[in-house]
Structure formats: C-alpha cells, structure tokens
Structure 1
C-alpha cells in the first residue's frame, strides 16, 4: 500500500513538471515568433503610405509598427498607432513605451520645424509629464522633459498678480458670512 502511494505522488509530481515544461515551451515559441515579426517590421522599409496594424494584433507589434512609421516620417499613422496603445486605459510597459515614443516624436517634429514648433514642444512636454505621473522613476523621461524645458521654457508671466500675493494679503469670501462674524 505504501509503495502504491509513493508511485502515485511521484507520477503526479512528474505530470505537474511536464505540464510546466510544456507551458514554458509554448510561451518561448510564442515569444520567438513575436520577436521574429518585430525584427521583420524593423528590417522592412516602411513607406509613407503604410498604415498602423489593426487593433487585434499583439500590442508589441503595434508598438513596433508605430515606431517604424515614425522613423519613416509618417507621423499621422504613427500617432494613430501610439494613440491606440495609450487609449486602452492600460498602463503596462507597452503603453508607457508608446507614451515615451509619442513624446519623442513630438519633440523631434518640433526640432525639425523652425517656426510654429511651440505647440509640438508643449504636446511633447505634456506626454512626458503624463508618463512621469505613472512612472516617476523613469530617468529617460525626466531627461527628455528637462531638455524640452530648456528648448521651450515655460512662461513665468502666466501667473497673475493675485496668485503671487502672500497668504496674508489674500481675501477669502465665503457666502453667508459677514466680515465681522469671525474673530
């Protein structure tokens, strides 16, 4: 009886190990196929008329396609690809990388344009700030934001004189209270 129990436990553990090996092998096969597709997208020249991949494609492929479109100069299609990855509401690594690449695309476009580049710099800075809200430890995004702020500094005159007053000088009005109600 004892021998039968030992054989059953050994068989069960062997089956569990075989299942884990099979699952890891399938995961490795899927990852290898995905990497091959990404390498194909990166190696294949992308024309100006190319479009982003459909939404049913894996997110990593969509990111690689949007990056290839951005490098090829097809910024409208790249913007649609990045927006599709960001708008899903997910803040996984792919969405964070898409946000970073989108900000860099805006900044590169702003650098390429001499006149009228301020809105592109502002969009790039805003995307980098959005990314830093999610991952404040992202040093690449911090560095790029600092560079963008040096290229297009923010105006300090945007604050009104009322906002610059000290706390003691501000008057607070509360509906229903008369000035003499409080000590």
Structure 2
C-alpha cells in the first residue's frame, strides 16, 4: 500500500512531461512548416508561391511575403500586408518589424534611389515619419527606427513651433488717459 502513492505521483509526473514533449513536438512541426514556406517565398517569384503560403495565417510567413513583394517592386501589395501585420504591433515582435519595414518602404519610395536629391513624394515621407514614431512609441530603445526617423527629418524638416511667431505679434490697446490724446504706445 505504501508504493501506490509513489507510483501515482511518478505516473502524474510522466504524463505532465509527455504533454510538454507533445506540445513542443507540435510547435516544432509548425515552425518547420513555416520555415519551408519562408524558404519557398524567398527563392520563388510570387506567381509560384504555394496556395498554402498564400493562405498562410502565420505572421512570420506573411512578413516574408511582404518583404518579397517589396523587393519585387510590388509596393501596393506589400504595403497591405505590412499594414495588416502592423496592427499586431502592440502584441507581437513581428508586428513591430512590419511597421518598421513599412516605414522603410515609404522612405525609399519618397526619397528615390539617391537619398540626397529632392523628395519625390512628401506624403510618403510624412507616412514614413509617422510609422517610425509609432515604432518608437512601442519600443523607445529601437535605435534603427531613431536613425531612420532622423534621416527622414533631414530630408524634409518639420515646421518649427509658432511660439516664436507669437512673440512678434504686436498687441495694441486703446488706453484713454485724462487730458491726453489717444496715440499708439510703444
């Protein structure tokens, strides 16, 4: 009778270990499948992607699709995927990476091939700035986003505060003093 509780505890511990091992095996299979899809996406054109990759709900695979589309020059489709993934930014690292990549794509489109010349698309540049700021709100320590925001601000500086302009405004008051004619006071 003294052995029964020990055997039951050993059996329960064995079941717990088996459950953890089973869960990790399923996760490993899922990750291996996602890695196969990502490898296929990075080596094949979008027309040859498998139907499972097109319908994939895994954020990492969708991010790989967006990166491949952006490299292929299909910015509208890539932007849609980045934007959808960016909505997950509050809860996942993949969402923050998608926001950062979306901002980089906007910055490349706005600045053109050489980031030294005039800005080709100011609205795209403003969108890039907004996305970099959103990334920095989520992760203030992201130095890559800080650097790229600074780069975007150098391409198109933002207007300074109007506090300096308010100091230049003269205020005129009508002051009536007995026995004096009304005139402008300094």
> Structure 1-normalised TM-score?
0.77
1:145-174 Cα shifts (integer Å, max 9, x gaps): 111112222232x62623x68xxx9xxxxx
Distance between the aligned counterparts of 2:141 and 2:88, measured in 1? Answer: 23
Contact 1:59 1:85 in 2 (8 A): yes
Give the root-mean-square deviation of aligned CA atoms: 2.4
Please give the secondary structure, in 2, of the residue aligned with 1:120. helix
Partner of 1:34: 34
Partner of 2:139: 135
2:129 aligned with 1:125, yes or no? yes
Contact 2:104 2:128 in 1 (8 A): yes
1:106-132 Cα shifts (integer Å, max 9, x gaps): 011112175532222111111100111
Contact 1:106 1:124 in 2 (8 A): yes
After superposing on structure 2, the runs of 4+ consecutive aligned residues of structure 1 that deviate more than 6 Å are none
Structure 1: give runs of 5+ residues left out of the alignment: 170-183
How many residue pairs end up in the alignment? 159
Contact 1:53 1:81 in 2 (8 A): no
Note the 1:32-181 alignment, pairs <5 A.
32-46=32-46, 53-54=54-55, 57-87=57-87, 90-112=90-112, 114=118, 116-156=120-160, 159=162, 161-162=165-166
User: What's the offset of the Cα at 1:79?
Assistant: 1.1
Distance between the aligned counterparts of 1:89 and 1:131, measured in 2? Answer: 8
User: What's the offset of the Cα at 1:88?
Assistant: 5.4
Structure 2: give runs of 5+ residues left out of the alignment: 48-52, 172-186
User: What's the offset of the Cα at 1:45?
Assistant: 2.4
Please give the secondary structure, in 2, of the residue aligned with 1:153. coil
Q: Return closer, same or farther for 1:40/1:155 CA change in 2, 3 Å cut-off.
A: same
Contact 2:106 2:127 in 1 (8 A): yes
Higher Rg of the two aligned structures: 2
Contact 1:103 1:123 in 2 (8 A): yes
Contact 1:69 1:77 in 2 (8 A): yes
Partner of 2:177: none
